[in-house]
């Protein structure tokens, strides 16, 4: 068994209240499912969208991340899976795809 980080990207800011509620309910179901299989290692955190980016030798500080809505990382969790294929399979049910978002699956290297 190995650990994997799921990085969630993208959100729909134009959805109606009803749609947002439906989306939220789908997330709850999906989380419960992952948890019920005993796969959730760290429940992770949602990330706020405002932040700062510090860049380069000059350490220039800008408000950010200012990426397109679809590229902003909205949160992360850590799950447990047999291998990368299995982890990617677990990500299939994530409701983020309904709003055009993506899940980045990254093996965690434990030293």
Partner 1 sequence: MEDIEHLFRRESGRLVSILSRIFGMRDLALAEDVVQEAFCRALEVWSFRGVPENPSAWLMATAKNKAFDILRRRQTALSFESELAYKIDTESSLAPTIEQFFEPKAIQDDVLRMMFSCCDPGLKEEAQVALILHILCGFSVSEISEAFVSPHSTIEKRITRSKKVLAACEKLFNITSPQETSLRLRAVHRALYLLFNEGYHGSSQEAAIRADLCREAMRLTSILLTHPQGRTPTTYALAALMSLNSARLPGRVDGSGNLQSISKQDRTKWDRTLISDGMSLLEQSAAGTALSEYHIEAAIASIHVRATDTDQTDWKTIVTLYDRLLALRRSPIVGLNRAIAVAQLEGPERGIRELESIVDRDRLVGYPFYFAALAECELLRGCLGAARDRFRAAASLARNPMERSFFEQRLSECGIEDDAI
Residues found near partner 1 in the complex (CB under 8 A): 11, 13, 16-21, 23-24, 27-28, 31, 43-46, 74-75, 77
Minimum distance, C-beta of residue 75 to partner 1, in the bound complex (Å): 6
**Residue among 68 and 109 whose Cβ is closer to partner 1:** 68
Nearest to 49 by CA among 65, 38, 28, 70: 65
Minimum distance, C-beta of residue 46 to partner 1, in the bound complex (Å): 4
In angstroms, rounded to a whole number, what is the distance separating the alpha carbons of residues 49 and 10?
A: 11
Structure tokens at 40: 């959730």
- DSSP β-bridge partners for residue 6: 77, 105
Minimum distance, C-beta of residue 106 to partner 1, in the bound complex (Å): 18
């Amino acid at each position: 068994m190995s650990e994997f980080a799921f990085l969630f990207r993208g959100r729909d800011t134009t959805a109606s209240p009803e749609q947002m509620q439906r989306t939220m309910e789908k997330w709850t179901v999906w989380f419960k499912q992952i948890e019920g299989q005993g796969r959730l290692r760290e429940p992770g955190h949602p990330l706020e969208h405002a932040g700062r980016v510090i860049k380069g030798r000059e350490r220039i500080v800008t408000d950010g991340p200012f990426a397109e809505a679809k590229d902003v990382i909205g949160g992360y969790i850590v799950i447990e899976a047999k291998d990368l294929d299995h982890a990617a399979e677990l990500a299939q049910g994530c409701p983020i795809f309904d709003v055009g978002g993506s899940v980045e699956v990254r093996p965690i290297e434990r030293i």
